[in-house]
Structure 1
Amino acid sequence: MLNVALISHSPHMTGAERMLTNLAILLKQHVDYEPIVLIPNPSHGKMTEVLAQHGIMWCEVPSMKWYIAQQAHDVPAYVSQLLPRAEEYAEALRLIQADIAIVNTLTNLEGALGCFEANLPYVLWAHGVIDSSMSAGTPAVRASFDKVALNLASHIVTCSEWTSAFFQDLVPHKPVQTIHNWTDMRADGEVQRRPATFCALSTLEPHKGIDILIEAAAILKEQGLPVKVELYAAGHSEKQLRGLTSQLGVDDVVEFRGRVSDVQRVYQSCTATIMPSFVEPFGMVAIESMSVGTPVIASAAGGLTEIIEDGISGILVPPGDAVALAGAMRKVFEDEVLHKKLVSGGKQRVSTFFAASRAIDDFSQVLGKISKITSPYRDEARFLIDLLYLLKSKASSGVHATTPAPTVLLIENQMAYVPFSPIAEQKAHSRAVAKQSEDLSSIPFHWYSFVSQANVGWYGVEFSAIYEPFAQGAEILVEVVKNGGIAAQALVTIESIRPQTTCAARWPARLDIRENDKVDIRFSCRNMIKSLRLLEWNDGNFAYPVGSLMIENGYLSEAPLSPLPRNDSRRLPSHLRILKRLGGVVRTS
């Protein structure tokens, strides 16, 4: 029997935590596994109560500090606190005699580094994609630590093929596997369905598209349909959404009901469940609603297209299209034959593809495979840890008080990521705001101009792009002009588009940049009918992209930030200081 440590990122019972608990229950029922759940701050949530009901052991571990909320200047202090906590996690893993581990979500590093310290292979369970717009921290920091957790993992599991494709692009050398979420929820015959009542169980965040649902409700009210829309949700956008409800005159139609624990009763009491998301890595609400016989009307976004067969087990509409959503809601309400067809099709779809038996078989194969790994961490992984310890030593020396913190990322071919401009980024937090650039599809080029203050081997650039909803694809040409001549080009082809995505453009070969070289990075768009913009920091006087540079480790001329010898191949790259040279953004044909 294998002892499986399941490392939770919180003690609560929301989406990802609920799935981790469900997996612990399945493993407990399996003859080959003994699950033990590691929980930070267990008294703050309900997870322990659920585990106790199923006789599952749990262990308290130190509280976590999520890296997705960290700013660049916080990194050394964050790492100096992270590493001691990781050692405590390792001690807990040894104490429970864990054979393998499952680290839940890409939010923290304590669990991953604890597994490293204990020489324990782990599966990283990534439940979705957190775009820069959904994270409070600096995007380059989040991306850097994401890739540390991804590179240390022996195996990566995601909830949908859409999500798997995203992570496979980030770490093509790692095994990434889709294991769909599951549900055992079944209909309760005592609950009565209310006609013309639609529900949405969500968070009130921009990417969830609740504003589109409110607009659809206004359309239906204007058409004279006596509908009710109940929002079981909370979040940062609640004030704006309440304002939109009043502005459109649907306060009598749309009700804000906050979070709810008895979700099954909500599903069963409604005509249909609405999921109008722009970004949805999976869609747990969809399979729960379908399993109890309530049809789902959803955006054709992300993992939802893997759950719903349009017109058979649910209805899909274009993201951001309130008219189409209102039409689908009206059809499901008025067409009783269609409603019955979707009820039957939804139940069949869930029982066939999203059952617990299918999930435990898939997880058993993964766990059996990585349990045979005796040396889970190669030299490249150990180098990642060296970098973190070097950042810790920088924090304890007090250097970070006057110097911007380096955001370092090692990837498979000895490269690192650093922010576009650490000096400008510090200014951005106090003066500049994140804005969208002008539409690339309507101009020949979009330029950013810099002067290099260091020698560097440069391999490419990572940047954030914003797309008009439901765009079908694009090609972005990225060019580097060095001292007046084109020095490098890369064409980024994007076939599957989210409203916001991180793109990586790699040069065909290393580009050598010397101190005081004048460098322009220019972007142009091809084969794009709808709009495409870049996310950039802008204070009105200067602008630069939200993103990172891919540079070669140990190639900078400045002294490394470490006690390692200068000839050591593991040298930490200094912070690449590139300053904005020209005010604003320059455009030219």
Structure 2
Amino acid sequence: MKIAFYNHTSDMSGAEISLLLTAKHLKKAHPILFAPEGPLLQKARSQGIEVTALSSFRARMTRNPFMLIGYAMGMLLAGWKLARQLKRSEADLVHANSIRAGIMAGLFRWFHGLPVIWHVRDMPPRGFMGQLIRRFAARSAQAVIGISDSVLYAMEHESLVDKCHLVHNGVELKQADPAERRENREKVRAELETSQDAQVLAIIGQIAPWKRQEDAIEAFSTLVREGRNCVLWIVGEAKFRPENERYLAHLHERVKDLQLHNHVKFTGYREDVLEICCGADLLLLCSEDEPFGRVIIEAMSQGTPVIASRGGGVPEIIEQGRSGWMYETGHIQELTDRIRQVLDDDRLWRSLSHNGQQRAADRFSIQQTAEKVEFIYQQLLNRPGTRAYEHRQAKEMM
């Protein structure tokens, strides 16, 4: 099987990391990555993944009718260029790595003729726009993969019922021994100028209002006022939208207002997420309706306890009080209490650490993810009418 992975952007975020991990661990399929030139293609090349560079186009949501028309025309042109590339390729199937990528791949499916899978990694919009997206998916997608039950529920449409598949994100489970984890911890803390005996909290992800990094800052400020030797690492960068840049500036201002500049480290984007998790005593996730939360399983895999907001796909990962703790999104006092509880109880910390590692190993390995994805490929390509099916029939008749 030759699979055309399509990503509409070459910027790196959780979706792109998951794409590369899945492509890397396929055993029965040969991936070809179609994306604009940039960090994603550079990373793919370094991993030996075949790539095809596309021209870049980025549309944004707007109420300006003239800009909206321009974006729509740009998407049509980009979709047509993609369809021509797919038509010339030897791919058997298109695996679109987002809602937007699914729309682009489906626009001219009548021309390229390949089955299209939508891999939905974000909550689809509500209202009229969400209805349009679901209807278009029902017409253009041969399968929809959701990274959580919560995401699939948001994509619910009568014509999609038999097309939807749940495939959780997976991570590479690196079984580092205690000595290696201790070495990673010391190295990362030294690099980030953080005391080895400080209590370190980390929040990792794209800087965006819906990620609610401000909640972590507010809870953390209480711990500092209590006289604790603690540090907060805010890991990630603002990208994709101007409002994310403004939110990052707001976070810096809030840290200044609370006089936390000696306790909070803005690290920017980091590729060494597992090492960051080793360096932290606790991972926080404060998002509103997080679609899945791959950083949760990354932290779990390294034995770092997690406190996360209850919502989206998070309850599908965390067993409350056993492999992590959840709190109600936006409830700063509850978040603060949970942090204090885990940091002050060594026995609880060790229990969450052990159970979290076991949970990640049992349920969220990248090998499990890749196997489920390949099973979906085989189901689609074994149907009469697909290019792969017709090629196989032709070979059997020779």
TM-score by length of 1: 0.58
Could you tell me how far 1:185 is from its partner in structure 2? 4.2
The 1:329/1:128 distance shift into structure 2, 3 A limit, reads same
Which residue is 2:241 aligned to?
none
Which residue is 1:292 aligned to?
302
- Give SS of 2:229's match: coil
Distance 2:159 2:122 in 1: 15
Structure ID, larger Rg = 1
User: Is the Cα contact below 8 Å between 2:222 and 2:336 reproduced in 1?
Assistant: yes
Q: How is 1:574-585 mapped onto 2 (pairs within 5 angstroms)?
A: none
Match status 1:361 vs 2:355: no
The 1:234/1:146 distance shift into structure 2, 3 A limit, reads farther
User: Is the Cα contact below 8 Å between 2:278 and 2:302 reproduced in 1?
Assistant: yes
Amino acid across the alignment from 1:196: Q
User: Is the Cα contact below 8 Å between 2:306 and 2:325 reproduced in 1?
Assistant: yes
Distance 2:262 2:129 in 1: 44
Q: Which of the pair is proportionally richer in helix?
A: 2
Amino acid across the alignment from 2:209: P
Greater length-normalized contact order (CA 8 Å, ≥ 6 residues apart): 2
The 1:290/1:356 distance shift into structure 2, 3 A limit, reads same
2:235 to 225, 232, 235: 232
Amino acid across the alignment from 1:273: L
User: Is the Cα contact below 8 Å between 1:124 and 1:150 reproduced in 2?
Assistant: no
Q: How is 1:241-320 mapped onto 2 (pairs within 5 angstroms)?
A: 241-320=251-330
User: Is the Cα contact below 8 Å between 2:98 and 2:118 reproduced in 1?
Assistant: yes
Distance 1:69 1:353 in 2: 40
Amino acid across the alignment from 1:156: V
State the Cα deviation string for residues 394-427 of structure 1 (Å, max 9, x = none): xxxxxxxxxxxxxxxxxxxxxxxxxxxxxxxxxx
Which residue is 1:222 aligned to?
225
The 1:319/1:356 distance shift into structure 2, 3 A limit, reads same
Match status 1:65 vs 2:58: yes
User: Is the Cα contact below 8 Å between 1:103 and 1:112 reproduced in 2?
Assistant: no
Which residue is 2:192 aligned to?
none
Distance 2:254 2:125 in 1: 25
User: Is the Cα contact below 8 Å between 2:151 and 2:313 reproduced in 1?
Assistant: yes
Could you tell me how far 1:147 is from its partner in structure 2? 4.0
State the Cα deviation string for residues 189-229 of structure 1 (Å, max 9, x = none): 32236441111112232221222111111221232322211
Match status 1:167 vs 2:163: no
Distance 1:253 1:198 in 2: 10
Match status 1:91 vs 2:84: yes
Which residue is 1:23 aligned to?
22
User: Is the Cα contact below 8 Å between 1:162 and 1:302 reproduced in 2?
Assistant: yes
Which segment is superposed worse, 316-325 or 56-65? 56-65
1:39 to 27, 35, 51: 35
Q: How is 1:373-522 mapped onto 2 (pairs within 5 angstroms)?
A: 373-374=383-384
Distance 1:228 1:170 in 2: 49
Distance 2:72 2:208 in 1: 29
State the Cα deviation string for residues 311-335 of structure 1 (Å, max 9, x = none): 1111111111111111111122221
Amino acid across the alignment from 1:322: I
User: Is the Cα contact below 8 Å between 2:57 and 2:74 reproduced in 1?
Assistant: no
User: Is the Cα contact below 8 Å between 2:302 and 2:357 reproduced in 1?
Assistant: yes
Which segment is superposed worse, 236-245 or 289-298? 236-245
Which residue is 2:354 aligned to?
344
The 1:170/1:20 distance shift into structure 2, 3 A limit, reads farther
State the Cα deviation string for residues 436-483 of structure 1 (Å, max 9, x = none): xxxxxxxxxxxxxxxxxxxxxxxxxxxxxxxxxxxxxxxxxxxxxxxx
User: Is the Cα contact below 8 Å between 1:313 and 1:342 reproduced in 2?
Assistant: yes
- Give SS of 2:204's match: strand
Superposition CA RMSD, Å: 2.4
Distance 2:78 2:267 in 1: 39
Amino acid across the alignment from 2:204: L
Match status 1:152 vs 2:140: yes
Listed as ranges, the gaps of 5+ residues in structure 2 are 187-195, 239-243, 387-398
User: Is the Cα contact below 8 Å between 1:103 and 1:124 reproduced in 2?
Assistant: yes
Distance 2:237 2:12 in 1: 15
1:125 to 96, 119, 123: 119
Could you tell me how far 1:143 is from its partner in structure 2? 5.6
The 1:144/1:66 distance shift into structure 2, 3 A limit, reads farther
Which residue is 1:13 aligned to?
12
User: Is the Cα contact below 8 Å between 1:150 and 1:156 reproduced in 2?
Assistant: no
Could you tell me how far 1:288 is from its partner in structure 2? 0.6
- Give SS of 2:168's match: coil
Distance 1:209 1:15 in 2: 17
Which residue is 2:45 aligned to?
52
Which residue is 1:112 aligned to?
106
The 1:172/1:100 distance shift into structure 2, 3 A limit, reads closer
State the Cα deviation string for residues 13-65 of structure 1 (Å, max 9, x = none): 321111111121122xx1x311111112x1x22x2333234432111223233
State the Cα deviation string for residues 274-310 of structure 1 (Å, max 9, x = none): 1111220100110111111111111112111111111
Could you tell me how far 1:258 is from its partner in structure 2? 2.0
Amino acid across the alignment from 2:347: V
Distance 1:130 1:243 in 2: 31
Could you tell me how far 1:234 is from its partner in structure 2? 2.8
- Give SS of 2:172's match: coil
Distance 1:26 1:206 in 2: 33
Distance 1:24 1:70 in 2: 37
Amino acid across the alignment from 1:103: A
Which residue is 1:180 aligned to?
168
The 1:67/1:145 distance shift into structure 2, 3 A limit, reads farther
State the Cα deviation string for residues 75-97 of structure 1 (Å, max 9, x = none): 44444443343232222112221
Q: Which of the pair is proportionally richer in strand?
A: 1
Distance 1:92 1:86 in 2: 10
State the Cα deviation string for residues 348-375 of structure 1 (Å, max 9, x = none): 0011110122112211221111113445
Which residue is 1:201 aligned to?
204
**What is the percentage of aligned positions where both structures have the same residue?**
23
Amino acid across the alignment from 1:36: I
